[in-house]
Amino acid sequence: MKIRNDIIKVYKDVHIWVGIISGLMLFIAFYAGAITMFEKPLERWATPPSALAPPPPIERTEALLQAVFASHPQAAKHYLVVVRPSAEAPARVIWREPGKTRREFTEYGASFAADGSLQVEKLAKAPVAQLVDTLHQLVGLPFPDAVARQIMGAVALMYAVALVSGLIIVLPTLVKDFLALRIGKNIKRMWMDVHNALGIVSLPFHLVMALTSVVFAFHTPFYAVQEKVVYPHGLPWGQHEPAPLPGPDEYPLPADALLRSVEAQLPGFEVYSFIFREDQGQLEASVTGLDVRHGTRGRTQASTHLNPYTGEVDPHDLPGRMESWDAAVNAFFMLHFGSYGGNAMRWLYLVMGLAGALLFYTGNLLWIESRRRKQRDGLVPAQKRSAQVLGCLTVGVSLGCVIGISATLAATKWLPGRVDDVALWHQGLYYAFFAAAVAWAFARGAARGADELLRLAALASLLVPLGSLAGVWGIGGTWNHPGAGFAVDAVALAAVPVFLMLARYTRKRMADGHTDSVWSTAGGSADPAAEGADARAVT
Amino acid sequence: MSGKGAMPAARRLESRHWFGKSCAGALLGFGLAVALSGLFAWLSPGGVEGNGGKTQFNMWLISPIWAGVLCFVFLFRDSLRAWLWLGAANLAAFGLLGAIRLVMG
């Protein structure tokens, strides 16, 4: 395709600038987002074992509820019946007690002890999976949600511009260069090929991510503006028929009857839990679960209303049974969350997410490579300050994110019981390692910094399965849930040789690669004094 | 804002207008997206008093339109043209939306 040269030139500049500004934040969003694909297994792996007795069979739920309501009447306002209790939701009956603010709450679970007495435990669902998800949602920024989310939205818009401008730049040579990987002496050419191949192949995925993220950031103002400008009588949310009042002889069905009823009405839908709310003496219920044949707008599950007195499901909120507009919106969510196609699709999204992180990383490498001061007359020039700074920043921020996540995951099995606020510690550990990595990259220069930080990333990742291994013997309060979460340890372990290999390549390039480069210890010194000594000769 | 006055036909696109164009794309692109999403809400099947699903769909529409304008705003020859054309498009779209609200509402 032919495009005028001046248009290509303008879009090249646009691409470079939006890329430089948003690239590193997008790296964090994609790396953390890839891990978030397995949020639930991670949560299970990270949650310490409960001290509650094994849950009673679902047929005894009513007896357990009566015992809970007798001693904790506030639980009757809002409670959950879990169909298959697991490590992160270890009780048959769970309820929330409100905290200081509306979003703060404490979860309690209940069971029957061996002697038949009621056991109540404050649940300790691991916060580390949520931390990774928050890093993903707020592109790694340590600001309050309200601020960071607006920045994320701006980054998402720039990301959309980067995608389209990048496409415009490669269009004229698309057919010729597509999937050509010219690995060889010309390093810039090679990174360019990798960057272009990644970008073109995953363009639809990236467009979906960019456009949905704009909505995730700005849906509140979008609605507010539309309410004023578009709709005559406020935002129309449709009328939901209020649930019919139960008759005087109608009582909520027991959980096992509800389960049988739902399973009969929704074949293929695996029920996770029932949620109950009491409103002026009337019980309202919803059922959560998943039919893997349909993607959901929730990250891990779907939910819909249920009449607790009759067991009748109102399926209009369930994927596959929605009206067309709802189904379209459901598709937007599910394309972002990868919540369709089960675990196979989750693994694919994980790979796409890591490839996305690599896309932004290679983009920065290209920027540095195209600003290289080349060697002339045997003199190795000092590299430009800007290239050095971006080299250090790229290495520090991306590896800082990688190390921070590995380090905070490695602490998961050691924190509970040792510290009061586990969530705060996870957050503190992440940002401490992140900040230290950025500082280290600037202190040591891009090349040496990359080598050393990659080895630290390998060490931090190795510590993740070691915590679980310690848990097998119960050393120091650690734990390991048999079966569940094995994949978490396996993936962390598999990352170790990858990081070591990358470190080896970095050292090799430092030793054998061009000396006129920020990736050489000769040209890449971050020492500000080197800026003055422009013609430092190295032989 | 400075165009090159009366240059011959083959005027080349330049990067130096980036700031004015970006602002036009961000502000007027958003306005245009809201207006067009409003037109869609009124004129598409189901109308403006639709159900919650359509209300969400209308909101989602803002994102691709806004991002689309922001992507292609750099094709305007200079900032002034970007502001004028997008401003005119906003006037037209909001005018139409106002008219439709008057007639159909």
Shortest alpha-carbon distance between residue B64 and chain A (Å): 6
Q: Which residue has the tokens 């928050």?
A: A134
- Flag if A325 and B56 touch (Cβ within 8 Å): yes
Q: Collapse the DSSP code of A474 into the 3-class scheme (helix H, G, I; strand E, B; otherwise coil) and give the result.
A: coil
Nearest to A277 by CA among A313, A242, A305: A305
- Flag if B57 and A325 touch (Cβ within 8 Å): yes
Nearest to A404 by CA among A35, A20, A151, A23: A35
pLDDT given for residue B39 in this prediction: 97
Q: List Cα–Cα distances, B34 to A187, A258, A525, in angstroms.
A: 45, 44, 50
- Flag if B50 and A238 touch (Cβ within 8 Å): yes
- Flag if B59 and A229 touch (Cβ within 8 Å): no
| pLDDT bucket at A533, cuts 50 / 70 / 90 | very low
Mean pLDDT of chain A: 91
pLDDT given for residue A133 in this prediction: 97
Shortest alpha-carbon distance between residue A244 and chain B (Å): 21
pLDDT given for residue A183 in this prediction: 74
Is the pLDDT higher at A102 or at A6?
A: A6
Nearest to A356 by CA among A103, A66, A32, A91: A32
Among chain A residues, the shortest Cα distance to B95 is held by A229
| pLDDT bucket at A177, cuts 50 / 70 / 90 | confident
Give the Cα separation of A106 and A119 in Å (integer): 16
- Flag if B97 and A232 touch (Cβ within 8 Å): no
Q: How many CB atoms lie within 10 A of CB A203?
A: 14
pLDDT given for residue B56 in this prediction: 96
- Flag if B48 and A10 touch (Cβ within 8 Å): no
For residue A131, what are its two tokens?
Answer: 């931390």
Q: Collapse the DSSP code of A178 into the 3-class scheme (helix H, G, I; strand E, B; otherwise coil) and give the result.
A: coil
Residue type, A120: V
Give the Cα separation of A277 and A286 in Å (integer): 9
Give the Cα separation of B67 and B55 in Å (integer): 20
Nearest to A506 by CA among A429, A395, A413: A395
Its pTM stands at 0.92
pLDDT given for residue A369 in this prediction: 86
Give the Cα separation of A484 and A91 in Å (integer): 17
Residues linked to residue A109 through DSSP beta bridges, in sequence order: A94, A121
Residue from the list B42, B55, B75 with its beta carbon closest to the beta carbon of A236: B55
Quick check: A34 and A357 in contact, CB under 8 A? yes
Mean pLDDT of A115-139: 95
Quick check: A350 and A37 in contact, CB under 8 A? yes
- Flag if B53 and A328 touch (Cβ within 8 Å): yes
For residue B12, what are its two tokens?
Answer: 């080349």
Give the Cα separation of B28 and B22 in Å (integer): 10
| Region for residue A510 given its phi and psi (left: phi exceeds 0; alpha: psi -120 to 50; beta: otherwise) | alpha
Domain boundaries, chain A: 1-35+138-221+344-370, 49-123, 255-337, 380-532
| Contact list, B97 vs chain A (CB under 8 Å) | 229-230
| pLDDT bucket at A179, cuts 50 / 70 / 90 | low
pLDDT given for residue A524 in this prediction: 45
- Flag if A230 and B59 touch (Cβ within 8 Å): no
Nearest to A252 by CA among A13, A469, A76: A76
pLDDT given for residue A522 in this prediction: 61
Which range, of A31-40, A92-101, A223-232, A258-267, averages the lowest pLDDT?
A: A92-101
Burial of residue A334 (CB within 10 Å: 0-12, 13-18, 19+) is buried
Q: Collapse the DSSP code of B33 into the 3-class scheme (helix H, G, I; strand E, B; otherwise coil) and give the result.
A: helix
How many Cβ contacts (< 8 angstroms) between chains A and B?
118
| Contact list, A212 vs chain B (CB under 8 Å) | 63
- Long-range contacts, A476-479 (Cβ 8 Å, 24+): A476/A414, A477/A414, A477/A416, A477/A417, A477/A418, A478/A413, A478/A414, A479/A48, A479/A49, A479/A413
End-to-end CA distance of chain A: 47
| Contact list, B51 vs chain A (CB under 8 Å) | 236-238, 323, 325-326
Percent of chain A predicted with pLDDT > 90: 74
Chain A interface mutation, best of B12, B36, B44, B56, highest count of A Cβ atoms under 10 Å: B56
Residue A345 has pLDDT above 50, yes or no: yes
Percent of chain A predicted with pLDDT > 70: 95
- Flag if A238 and B59 touch (Cβ within 8 Å): no
Q: How many CB atoms lie within 10 A of CB B56?
A: 23
- Flag if A13 and B101 touch (Cβ within 8 Å): no
Give the Cα separation of A482 and A45 in Å (integer): 9
| Region for residue A267 given its phi and psi (left: phi exceeds 0; alpha: psi -120 to 50; beta: otherwise) | beta
Residue A459 has pLDDT above 90, yes or no: yes
Interface of B with A in 23-52 (CB under 8 A): 26, 34-35, 37-38, 41-42, 46, 48-52
Quick check: A277 and A284 in contact, CB under 8 A? yes
Residues linked to residue A112 through DSSP beta bridges, in sequence order: A118
Residue A484 has pLDDT above 70, yes or no: no
Task: Write the pLDDT tens digit of every residue in A278-289.
Answer: 888 789 999 999
Residue A417 has pLDDT above 50, yes or no: yes
pLDDT given for residue A26 in this prediction: 97
Q: Collapse the DSSP code of A438 into the 3-class scheme (helix H, G, I; strand E, B; otherwise coil) and give the result.
A: helix
Mean pLDDT of A115-143: 95
- Flag if B101 and A232 touch (Cβ within 8 Å): yes
A240-249 as b/e: b if 16+ CB within 10 A: eeebeebeee
Low-confidence ranges of chain B (pLDDT < 50): 1-9
Shortest alpha-carbon distance between residue A237 and chain B (Å): 4
Task: Write the pLDDT tens digit of every residue in A506-515.
Answer: 999 888 888 8
Give the Cα separation of A350 and A537 in Å (integer): 46
Residue A532 has pLDDT above 60, yes or no: no
Please provide the DSSP assignment of A149-197 as one string: HHHHHHHHHHHHHHHHHHHHHHGGGHHHHTT----SS-HHHHHHHHHHH
Task: Write the pLDDT tens digit of every residue in A71-112.
Answer: 999 999 999 999 999 999 999 999 998 888 777 788 999 999
| pLDDT bucket at A516, cuts 50 / 70 / 90 | confident
pLDDT given for residue B10 in this prediction: 59
| pLDDT bucket at A360, cuts 50 / 70 / 90 | very high
Among chain B residues, the shortest Cα distance to A232 is held by B105
Give the Cα separation of A405 and A419 in Å (integer): 19
Task: Write the pLDDT tens digit of every residue in A12-45.
Answer: 999 999 999 999 999 999 999 999 999 999 999 9
Is the pLDDT higher at A318 or at A180?
A: A318
Rg (CA), chain A: 27
Nearest to A169 by CA among A7, A361, A370: A7
Q: Collapse the DSSP code of A287 into the 3-class scheme (helix H, G, I; strand E, B; otherwise coil) and give the result.
A: strand
Residue B12 contacts A where some CB pair is shorter than 8 Å: yes
Nearest to A10 by CA among A165, A202, A219, A144: A165
Answer CATH for A255-337 from 2.60.120, 3.40.50, 3.90.105, 3.10.450 = 3.10.450
For residue A91, what are its two tokens?
Answer: 């009780």
